[in-house]
Amino acid sequence: MINFLLLPILIPLITGVILIFFSKNIIAQRWISGISSLSTIAVSAILVQKIRQDGIQTMDVSSWDAPFGITLVSDMLSALLVLTTSIVACTTLIYSFRSIGQERERFYYYPCFNFLIVGVNGAFTTGDIFNLFVFFEVMLMASYALIVLGGTKIQLRESIKYLLVNIISSALFVITVAYLYSVVGTLNMAHISQRINEVDQPGIITVIAILFLVVFGLKGAVFPLSFWLPGSYNAPPIPVMALFGALLTKVGVYSIMRTYTLLFYHDTGYTSKILATLAILSIIFGLIGALAFADIKKIIIYNIIVAVGVILFGISVMTTDSLTGSVFYLIHDMLIKTTLFLLIGIIISITGTSKLQEISGLIKKYPGLAWTFFLSALSLAGIPPLSGFIGKLLIVKGGFEAGNYLGAAIVLISSLLILLSIMKIFINGFWGTPRSYEGEKKASVKTLMIAPIILIIISILLGVGAEAVYPYISQAAETLVKPEIYIDAVLKE
C-alpha cells in the first residue's frame, strides 16, 4: 500500500538528489523538476482527500511505535499546507524557467529548490518536536544556498545577516527542545501534550512556551524579531523571493499555531496576551513599512509581516472562528504573496527597476499584467468575494467574540491600509504617462504571466467557492480546537 503521507517529502528529496547529477544539463533539470512538482501536487491532493474520508494519517518511522519512535502525522491542517506548498513550488518553478537565468540554473538551483520543499513539507508533517528542528535545518540549508546563488553584492551582504539570525535561532531551538525534554521526558508532540497536562509546574511550561515563541518568532518574522526580513528578502532573485515570502515565514507561523494549540493550551492566559500584543505590533509595524516605502519589492515584503500579525492574532484569540480564520488566511496568503512577488518580478524585468517613481504607464502595453495585479491587490486586502475576505472575517469575528475589540478593529482597519499600500503600486506604476523601458524587448511577459494567472485563478476560486472549501478548513481547525483528536490519532488510544 502506498503511504501518501511520506510521498510529498520523498518525491522532492529523490528529485533533488537526481538533479545533482544533471547540473550542466539545464533542459533535463527543468523537465525532471516539473514532473516531480506536478507529482507532488497530485499525491498531496490525494492525501487531503484521504484525510477527509478516513481521518488523521500517521506513520511510525522504523519499527518503533509512538511515542518512542519518530512519527509522521498528517492531519487536515498539515495536508492542506503541504498541498498549498506544492502549488506554490510548481508555479514558482514554471516562472523560474524563463527568469532565473542559466548561470544560476547550472549552479544547483533546482536541487536546492527541491531540498527547500523537502524541509517545508517535512516541517508541516512531522509529529516529533526534534524532527521539526531537523526539517527546519534542511529548509534553512537550502535557503542559504538560494539566497547567495548569483553572488551579487547585495546578496552576499544580506546573506551574512540572514545566516547569523538563523544560526542563533537554531541554537536557541535546540536548547529549548532540550529544556522541554528535561521536564516532560519525551519528544513526540502528542505525548508532550499529555505530559504537560500531568506536570504540575506551570511556571516552567510558560517559560518554555515563551522560548518557543522567540524561536518561531525569529523564523516567522514576528515583531520585533522581524528586523532581518526586509533586507534579507530583498536580496535574492524574484523566484527565490517568492518562495521565501510564501513559505519560510509561514513555517514559523505554523509552528506557533501547532505548539500553542497542541502543547501549551492548558494555561493560556499569560502567553495569549503576549502573542496578541506581538501580533498587533506586527500588523502596525508592517503597515508603516508598506506605506512608507516607494520600492515595489519592499512594499510586498512589509506586507508579509502584516499577514503574519493577522494570522497570529487569530491564534492568540483561540476561538473556533478565529482559528478557522487563521488557517484560511494562512493558505490564502501563501498563494497571494507568491502571485504578487511574481507580478512585481515581471514589472522589474520590463522596467529594470523596483523604484516606483521610475515606473508609470504600464497599463497601455500590458493590460493583462495590470488587471491581474489589481485582482491580487484586492484579494490581499480581503475585499469580498476574494479569498482574503473569508479568513479575515472569521478572525475579526473571533476577536469580537473573545472581547479583544482593539485587536479585531486593528485587523479590520489593516485591510484598508494594505489596499492603500498595494494600490500605490497600481496607480503610480500602471497609470500615468507611458515610458519606454530597456527591458521591454527582453522580457518574456506572456510566458512569465502563466504562473501568476494560475495562482490568481486558484485564489479567486478559493474565495468564490468558499462553501465547498470550508468543510476542509473547518476539519483542519477542529484539530487545533480539540487537540485530543490529534493525540488519540497519534498515540492510538
CB atoms under 10 Å from CB of 164, counted, come to 11
Higher pLDDT, 2 or 8: 8
* pLDDT tens, position by position, 113-151: 999 999 999 999 988 889 999 998 999 899 888 888 876
* pLDDT tens, position by position, 234-280: 888 889 999 998 898 899 999 999 988 888 876 666 788 888 899 99
pLDDT number for residue 308: 92
pLDDT at 26 over 90: no
Angle at 31 between CA 108 and CA 457, to 5 degrees: 105
* pLDDT tens, position by position, 430-462: 887 777 777 666 667 788 888 999 999 998 898
Tell me which residue of 486, 456, 480 sits closest to 326, measured CA to CA. Answer: 480
Going by the DSSP 8-state scheme, the letter that residue 403 receives in this structure is T
> Is-contact 88 334, C-beta < 8 A?
yes
Higher pLDDT, 155 or 453: 453
pLDDT at 396 over 80: yes
Tell me which residue of 370, 368, 372, 350 sits closest to 359, measured CA to CA. Answer: 350
pLDDT at 2 over 70: no
Candidate from 201-215, 239-253, 285-299, 303-317 with smallest mean pLDDT: 201-215
Q: What is the mean pLDDT of residues 162-174?
A: 88
* Cα 109 from Cα 93, distance rounded (Å): 10
pLDDT number for residue 1: 44
Tell me which residue of 90, 71, 89, 84 sits closest to 5, measured CA to CA. Answer: 71
Tell me which residue of 283, 119, 275 sits closest to 212, measured CA to CA. Answer: 275
pLDDT number for residue 313: 92
* pLDDT tens, position by position, 309-351: 999 999 988 888 899 999 999 999 999 999 999 999 888 888 8
* Cα 451 from Cα 92, distance rounded (Å): 7
- At 234 the three-state DSSP class reads helix
pLDDT number for residue 268: 66
Which set of grid coordinates corresponds to residue 269? 492566559
Which set of grid coordinates corresponds to residue 321? 472562528
Mean pLDDT of the chain: 87
Candidate from 81-95, 186-200, 208-222 with smallest mean pLDDT: 186-200
Give the list of residues 6+ apart from residue 156 with CB closer than 8 angstroms, or none. Answer: 148
Handedness of CA 220, 272, 332, 281 (dihedral sign): negative
